[in-house]
Amino acid sequence: MADLPKAGDRIPTERFHVSKCNVRFDEAFGESEEDRVFREHLKFNPIRVPMDARPEGDGFGVYIGRRRFLAKKDFTTHFVVGRDLLINNVSEEEAREASFIENNEYLKRNMDPITYAEQLNVIASRGGKGIRATAKRLGMPASGLSQYLKLLILSQKLRNAIRKVDVPFMGKGTQDPYTIYGLAKLELSGEVQDELAEVLESEGVEALWSRIDEKYLSKHKRGIPKDKYYILRTTFDRDNRFDRQLYEKLEELAKGKEMKVDDYAKKVLREHIESVS
């Protein structure tokens, strides 16, 4: 490999791109108000914390500092090594792990638990030194790592179904059965999990918990757990043209997102409340 650029070298902006090793590679940038404010700030100010890039093809892939790069690239003709960024000769696995660690808290807050667990597993599988050593390397508790990796015993069909609905990773404690982690702890067969996936996709979250109560949690009563959920019910009159059009549009939008109507309505309600808060 050719020698890496030295501190002080000025490298044209067009030689840089966001590396696929960056765990947020596919995320859009510039659509949120936060992104627009950040971009405007870097239009007139230098990058405060240097980015990290690695040689990729004829240029360099930014694996740490995606937002800084995307916010600044249109307002500069070059980046200075040692000031704006560091160029490191690291492998894809090393770059992906560094990016994951850098973005870990963001990913836990914003990525659905199943996808986060799968991403975590890719990173954790490198090295093969056990849970404690891996957790230390990633800067997270060993118990937390084990709990997320536990989700991977769920069948692929059930994982895909859970991704589309609003199910928490864990409740107030590890014994809460009405969570993704609680579902994984049941250690049901793959065939049973696929059946539950069909229930979830066709009937919704409440029906899933009812089925689990009925067949797999004898200590719990069948039906929606008492004091577990707030229930909001609304009706649409089929004979009322405005009600019918509203529901049909809601149904169409939900289908476009591959979601059930009630789950999509909850998503819309959450987004509206967040926008006015």
pLDDT-derived band at 222 (thresholds 50, 70, 90) equals: very low
Q: What is the per-residue pLDDT across 180-189, written as a single tens digit (0 to 9) for each?
A: 999 999 999 9
Domain 10-90 class in CATH:
alpha beta
191, pLDDT greater than 70: yes
Q: What is the per-residue pLDDT across 72-95, written as a single tens digit (0 to 9) for each?
A: 999 999 999 999 999 999 999 899
The reported pTM is 0.64
Report the range out of 27-36, 63-72, 103-112, 208-217 with the highest average pLDDT. Answer: 63-72
Q: What is the DSSP string of the chain?
A: -PPPPPTT-EEEGGGEEE-TTSTTTT---S-SHHHHHHHHHHHHS--SS-EEEEEETTEEEEEE-HHHHHHHGGG-SEEEBTTTEEE----HHHHHHHHHHHHHHHHHHHS-HHHHHHHHHHHHTSS---HHHHHHHHTS-HHHHHHHHHGGGS-HHHHHHHHTS---S--SSTT-SSSHHHHHHT---HHHHHHHHHHHHHH-HHHHHHHHHHHH-TTS-SSSPTTT---------TTSHHHHHHHHHHHHHHHHTT--HHHHHHHHHHHHHHHH-
Residue with the bigger pLDDT between 106 and 38: it is 38
- Summary mean pLDDT of the chain: 87
**Domain positions in the chain:** 10-90, 158-226, 241-276
